[in-house]
């Protein structure tokens, strides 16, 4: 039997699979779907972030701020964290121009990232008793050992309108392109923020549920 059969070759004498040189980093070789029942799928390189995934869900309710300012979740000591989104951010715009005491974000009972990830897609569902337009934002904040104030970084802001019934659910599919930022930093905390899109004269209680698929490269 020939000694140069593929199974007898050592690593140094084996070639890389097709497409290896041009494949992106942190990707895996797979076989495509093909034409259904036939085994004719082509080889393709898939990002690890599409294979190693985790589903995260964020839920909460908010009485919309009459001035149109964003609200963020209450701290754990209040008992309804992170679901009661009732803390006044003081601005209708999320930016470094509006900071709060870091402990207010750190004490929100929400998700913190154990490793860096990439958002692949998501889904947002809301209910509202009226047709008030409002915005649901998913944000992340990076804990600091040197700065006592903090501000959130926007992952996505989605303007929505309820179906004028708290018993009807409005759903929105979220593609990765809908996100202003898809990278989640290691150790960062994620939570929802909600605001009315304009100054409102009535009290409106809205509910929001956002799920995202996060992929990991390691």
Please, what CATH class does the domain formed by 53-215 belong to?
A: mainly beta
pLDDT at 200: 83
Distance (Å) of CA 202 to CA 67, 137, 196? 11, 21, 11
pLDDT at 139: 98
Give tens-digit pLDDT for 9-58: 666 666 677 776 677 776 766 666 677 666 777 777 766 566 667 899 99
pLDDT means over runs of 10, the chain (218 residues): 62 68 70 70 68 86 94 92 95 97 94 91 97 96 96 97 95 97 96 94 91 86
User: Start-end ranges of CATH 2.60.120 in the chain?
Assistant: 53-215
* DSSP-derived pairing of the beta strands 183-184 and 117-128: antiparallel
DSSP string computed for 166-210: EEEEEEEEEEGGG-S--EE-TT-EEEEEEEESS--SS--EEEEEE
63: left (phi over 0), alpha (psi -120 to 50) or beta: beta
Q: Diameter of the chain by CA atoms?
A: 87
Lookup: tokens for 16: 């890389």
Counting Cα atoms < 13 Å in the Cβ hemisphere of 158 gives 27
């Amino acid at each position: 039997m020939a000694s140069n059969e593929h199974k007898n070759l050592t690593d140094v004498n084996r070639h890389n699979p097709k497409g290896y040189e041009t494949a992106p980093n942190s990707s895996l070789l797979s076989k495509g779907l093909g034409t259904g029942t036939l085994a004719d799928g082509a080889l393709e390189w898939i990002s690890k972030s599409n294979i190693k995934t985790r589903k995260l869900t964020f839920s909460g309710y908010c009485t919309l701020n009459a001035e149109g300012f964003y609200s963020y979740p209450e701290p754990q000591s209040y008992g309804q964290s992170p679901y009661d989104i009732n803390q006044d951010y003081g601005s209708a715009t999320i930016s470094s121009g509006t900071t709060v005491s870091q402990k207010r974000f750190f004490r929100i009972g929400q998700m913190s990232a154990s490793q860096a990830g990439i958002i692949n897609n998501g889904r947002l569902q809301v209910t509202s008793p009226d047709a008030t337009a409002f915005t649901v934002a998913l944000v992340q904040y990076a804990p600091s050992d040197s700065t006592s104030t903090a501000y959130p970084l926007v992952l996505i802001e989605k303007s929505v309108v309820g179906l004028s019934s708290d018993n009807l659910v409005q759903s929105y599919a979220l593609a990765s392109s809908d996100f202003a930022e898809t990278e989640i930093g290691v150790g960062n905390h994620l939570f929802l923020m909600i605001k009315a899109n304009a100054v409102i004269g009535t009290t409106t209680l809205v509910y929001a549920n956002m799920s995202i698929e996060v992929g990991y490269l390691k």
